Amino acid sequence: MADLRVNIGGLEFKNPVTTASGTFGNGEEFEDFFDLDLLGGMFVKGMTLEPREGNDYPRMAETASGMLNAVGLQNKGVDHFIKEIYPRIKHFDTHIIPNINGSTVEDYIEVAEKLNEIETIPAIELNISCPNVKAGGMLFGTSCPSAIAVTEAVRKAYDKVLIVKLSPNVTDIAEIAKGVEGAGADSVSLINTLLGMAVDAEKRKSVLSTVTGGLSGPAVKPVALRMVWQVYNAVKIPVFGIGGIMNATDAVEFMLAGAAAVQVGTANFIDPQIPVKIIKGIENYLERHHFDSVSELTGAMEI
């Protein structure tokens, strides 16, 4: 059987299949469906320094082969995560990686510092690409200097593996990836959602309470693949590929385009057992194509 392990900034993942932040809750909802120990890793719901109520309902619109969401980082704050949630989920034998968010650089630093104290949390994902909040969020990820600034600041406050999640709503994602690499990121993950919108023609109203929201699902896969490929060719740090992964073939495509590992997002809503099916499908692919290790797939695409 092929070796499924991948290494991200010195941290070993038992396999390259992880779940994307905001699409997997804190994992608990999925215990009804499969053994979470099977996962390569779990990126838990985005958290902030203070609790947030998120945006008003409606927060969701279905689109062609995708969906828009405008959840807006509803969460009870990092302290609640550390005191209430983490103790309940830390027994899972998989990397639990918090996704951190802030309105200011100071917010990010404080959240990172608190998480730095939790010995068993081996990594954080710095979300500078949330399109659904008014202050901060995507703004950090759409300008190179601010992406660098927040990465540098968090880098100083955080000792372990730092993954920076990039926004696709930019002219040149490779440039920003290079920026955060220089600022000390151990890895980048992409893509977060594409900024989109839905209109209800009959009601002549925007569907989402926030007008715009984040597009995810298979609709965005071609854009995500392109960005992963561009970033892979621009940086040396490993890339998490994200965007519309619905099955093992999609996951393999991302790895061939340059991803060292993948995150499965929206697909969890349609088939909560999909991460396990993807792990098995990758194993099967490696066997059929005679690979010894999954890491051989990374960037192995011919042009």
Stretch that binds ligand FMN, among 31-39, 142-150, 232-240, 265-273 (CB under 6 A): 265-273
Query: Mind giving me the DSSP string for 102-129?
Result: -SSHHHHHHHHHHHHT-TT--EEEEE--
Least Å distance, CB 45 to other proteins, is 8
Q: How far apart are CA 123 and CA 161, in angstroms?
A: 4
> Smallest distance, Å, CB 22 to other proteins?
7
Give the tokens for residue 77.
């704050």
Instruction: Output the smallest distance, CB 220 to its own copies, in A.
Output: 8
| 3-state SS class at 200 | strand
Which partner from the list its own copies, ligand FMN, other proteins, none does 33 bind, CB cut-off 5 to 8 Å by kind? Answer: other proteins
Asked if 269 is part of the footprint of other proteins (rule: CB under 8 A), the reply reads yes
Query: Which residues in 11-50 contact other proteins (CB under 8 A)?
Result: 22-25, 29-30, 32-33, 45
In this structure, are residues 215 and 67 in contact, taking their beta carbons and an 8 Å threshold? yes
Residues 68, 213: contact at Cβ < 8 Å?
A: yes
Query: What residue 195 binds from ligand FMN, its own copies, other proteins, none (CB within 5 to 8 A, per partner kind)?
Result: its own copies
95: part of which helix (H) or strand (E)? strand 95-97
In angstroms, the CA 226 to CA 33 distance is 32
Q: Is 188 in the site for ligand FMN (CB under 6 A)?
A: no
116 binds, among ligand FMN, its own copies, other proteins, none (CB under 5 to 8 A by kind): none
Kindly state whether residue 74 participates in binding other proteins, applying the rule CB under 8 A: yes
Spot the catalytic one: 6, 68, 130, 198: 130
Q: Could you give the dihedral angle defined by the CA atoms of residues 4, 7, 12 and 15, in that order, rounded to the nearest 10 degrees?
A: -30
Closer residue to ligand FMN, CB minimum distance, 11 or 130: 130
Residues 6+ apart with CB under 8 A from 30: 19, 24, 36, 268, 272
Alpha-carbon gap, residue 214 to 302, rounded angstroms: 32
User: Using CB under 8 A, which of 17, 47, 71, 147 touches other proteins?
Assistant: 71
Distances (CA, A) of 93 to 89, 165, 242, 258: 9, 24, 22, 27
Indicate which of other proteins, ligand FMN, its own copies, none lies near residue 1 (CB less than 5 to 8 Å, by partner kind). none
Q: Nearer to its own copies by C-beta: 33 or 291?
A: 291
Q: Does 150 bind its own copies (CB under 8 A)?
A: no
Q: Is 144 a catalytic residue?
A: no
Q: 294 by DSSP, 3-state: which? A: helix
Candidates 69-77, 86-94, 149-157, 224-232; binding stretch for other proteins (CB under 8 A): 69-77
> Which residue numbers are catalytic?
130
- Catalog residues that contact its own copies under the rule CB under 8 A: 61, 63-66, 68, 142-143, 169-172, 194-199, 201, 203-206, 211-212, 215, 217-223, 225-226, 229, 244, 249, 252-253, 256-257, 285, 289, 300-303
